Amino acid sequence: MDYEYIKGSDYDYYTVPALLEAGLEHRFIGKPLNFKPDFKEASVEVVNRTFLKADMPLAEVHQVHGADICQVRDGQLGTGWGLRSLGDYDGLVTEASDLALMVKIADCIPIILFDPVKKVFALVHSGWPGTLQSIGQKALEVMMSQYDVTPSNLLIAYGPALSMEDFQVQEDVYRRFQPFEASHPQAFKQEDEHHWLIDTKGINKERFLAMGVPLEQQYDVAVSTKQALGCHSYRRDGRDGYGLNAVVAYLKS
């Protein structure tokens, strides 16, 4: 199995042992923590106490379902626990060892990209709009151009998200994905005249493979947020009832 499920005293979480062993501390975190604005401060305090190193700041972004990546530099966030928001982005990348990164998700795909050779990593929020815009692959392009990352060295982890079986779309969304169907036929299934299922994780895996990341270095926390009651889910809980999961990560020193 690509992942482990850890029951903690304050919250449960998922990790990918291959990334831990290679030097990246990370947790895919769900309930009972909630990273929506009304609950985020209290949840971040729990993460500070249970996971982050002393005085380690935590960087987040205002996620807008776009494809822009924020580069976070060593020393940029200062020192001391606390959340620093860095603007309108849907991904972050850093080689700094004095800070942690976080992205929030409900049913979208949280993606970790980690190069254990260059000691640089990225976190990406890839919803279906982000997948259409290839945000995961754009993060890798930033890592290649700005941090001299070689794709064949990369380790990728996909956190809990909607499975193909739970990501049902109507024709308007399907038509936006349709240009990719010829190159990713196994990622599409028509249920009836008006509904399709789409495997957005599968599309990302094949795109990264085409960029040089072997499939055996792509690890999937194969848990559907809609089915896993320990995860928040917009599809399951609705506009008024859903919360936000998070992935938090930092480099081992």
Evaluate whether residue 169 is within a structural domain.
no
Q: d(Cα 247, Cα 22) in Å, to the nearest integer?
A: 18
- Which residue(s) pair with 168 in the sheet? 197
The C-alpha atoms of residue 212 and residue 168 are separated, in whole angstroms, by: 30
**Predicted pLDDT of residue 124:** 99
Is residue 187 included in any domain, yes or no? no
Full-model pTM? 0.96
Please check whether residue 245 lies inside any domain of the structure: yes
Can you give the pLDDT at residue 78? 82
Amino acid 12: pLDDT: 95
Tell me how long the chain is.
253
The number of domains in the chain is 1
- Asked whether residue 184 is assigned to any structural domain, the reply reads no
Q: Given this model, what pLDDT does residue 79 score?
A: 82
What pLDDT score does 186 carry? 93
Considering only the C-alpha atoms of the chain, give the largest distance between any 2 of them, rounded to a whole number of Å.
Answer: 56
Residues 111, 201: Cα–Cα separation, whole Å: 10
Residue 190 placed within a domain: no
Q: Which segments of 23-78 does DSSP mark as H helices, in order?
A: 37-50
Q: Where are the alpha helices (DSSP H) in 121-185?
A: 128-132, 135-147, 171-177
**Has residue 29 been placed in a domain?**
yes
114 assigned to some structural domain: yes
Site of tokens 């599968």: 202
* Segment-wise mean pLDDT, segments of 10 residues, the chain, 253 residues: 93 98 98 96 96 94 96 88 92 96 98 99 98 98 98 98 97 93 93 95 97 98 97 95 98 92
- What is the residue range of 38's domain? 4-162+201-251
Domain CATH number, residue 227: 3.60.140.10
- Give 182's Cβ-side CA count (13 Å radius): 1
Instruction: Kindly give the residue spans of alpha helices, DSSP state H, lying in 103-168.
Output: 128-132, 135-147
Answer whether residue 241 is part of any domain.
yes
Q: Could you read off the pLDDT of 166-177 as tens digits, one per residue?
A: 999 999 999 999
d(CA 94, CA 229): 32
